Structure 1
């Protein structure tokens, strides 16, 4: 079984609905013969690459190599300032806005790792917490991290690991946004235990 990602240029960050609609429209189109303008990124992308009109590129990969190849595709797309849509997870990777920590990583319980994730992606990933995706974490290796599991148990570590439980997904999203942007208000807004 194979899975795929789609990479293309967008002038502004887009939401999942727009990314999904673009992907479905491209899937209905005929692949390009490659005689037109070929995006420079094509030379760097791993997996099986198919070109479509208007600079859309589909990258196919084996399910077994999905996590590794996806991480490479996400990084290459970002380096070229391109959007990447993951139809399996229904997630869109925009170029911006980013958090303040260069090299920050987003890890999920279903195996996705994204370097320098955009804040919209972080919000969307938090909405996918489930038995199939049992955690999400923003990690600044060697410094600190924040993570959450279903039931909205938040954990934060900067020296000492502390925990709290929040009632609403929106509060989890708020804490993750604050963490990513260098705001530590989430630490004073909640009661934490070791």
Structure 2
């Protein structure tokens, strides 16, 4: 579901908005230009557009929906993954991609989304990575093994999710303090 929000919102706020809108009757003519661009089956609600998609093409379709929502400055909530895509704040690397082991790929992810995705690591989602193609990447797998590559690939074990989130935030914002905090090996 996509809609306009004046400031970034939390996953809890996005979920509550989604559920409240789903309890109302479809209708309205808000966001018609956006609705025309969106793939999948589109249902208009006042101020909101719901996109229903086939599970077989969900990853590709949701990436398209997010890209279109971002181009229009709209929030995008993914109820399947329970993740909110805000327009900002972004990291410093234009074109950075967020990849997950369950098939999510997001170009220029907002920092809140990166934070939230890291909590979804599981056997069904065995990794999360921020990738700057041709330059460097940071990846984590369950058990909190970080892998960083800029030339050579190095690995470090991180004790808790909060430290993983801190490292990913630093990486996305161009800081490299995480490289000095851990003992890295090949």
The answer on whether the counterparts of 2:30 and 2:44 sit within 8 Å (CA) in structure 1 is no
CA shift digits 1:133-160 (9 cap, x unpaired): 1000000000000000000000000000
Q: Tell me the distance in 1 between the aligned counterparts of 2:39 and 2:136.
A: 32
Quickly say closer, same or farther: Cα 1:81–1:38, change in 2 above 3 A. Answer: closer
The answer on whether the counterparts of 2:127 and 2:142 sit within 8 Å (CA) in structure 1 is yes
Q: Tell me the distance in 1 between the aligned counterparts of 2:31 and 2:112.
A: 28
Q: Tell me the distance in 2 between the aligned counterparts of 1:64 and 1:37.
A: 29
**Could you tell me how far 1:37 is from its partner in structure 2?**
3.4
Q: Tell me the distance in 2 between the aligned counterparts of 1:148 and 1:99.
A: 18
Q: Tell me the distance in 1 between the aligned counterparts of 2:156 and 2:39.
A: 41
Q: Tell me the distance in 1 between the aligned counterparts of 2:118 and 2:22.
A: 27
Match in the other structure for 2:149: 157
Match of 2:106 among 98, 108, 114: 114
**Could you tell me how far 1:38 is from its partner in structure 2?**
3.7
Q: Tell me the distance in 2 between the aligned counterparts of 1:78 and 1:165.
A: 34
Match in the other structure for 1:84: 76
CA shift digits 1:79-118 (9 cap, x unpaired): 1100000111110000000000000000000000000000
| Aligned length in residues | 186
Match of 1:25 among 20, 24, 37: 20
Match in the other structure for 1:134: 126
Taking structure 2 as the reference length, what is the TM-score of the superposition?
Answer: 0.98
The RMSD of aligned alpha carbons is 0.8
Q: Tell me the distance in 1 between the aligned counterparts of 2:53 and 2:82.
A: 17
Q: Tell me the distance in 1 between the aligned counterparts of 2:5 and 2:137.
A: 31
Q: Structure 1, unaligned stretches of length 5 or more?
A: 1-5
Q: Tell me the distance in 1 between the aligned counterparts of 2:13 and 2:167.
A: 26
CA shift digits 1:113-140 (9 cap, x unpaired): 0000000000000001001110000000
Q: Tell me the distance in 2 between the aligned counterparts of 1:173 and 1:38.
A: 34
Match of 2:41 among 27, 31, 48: 48
- Note if 1:63 corresponds to 2:55: yes
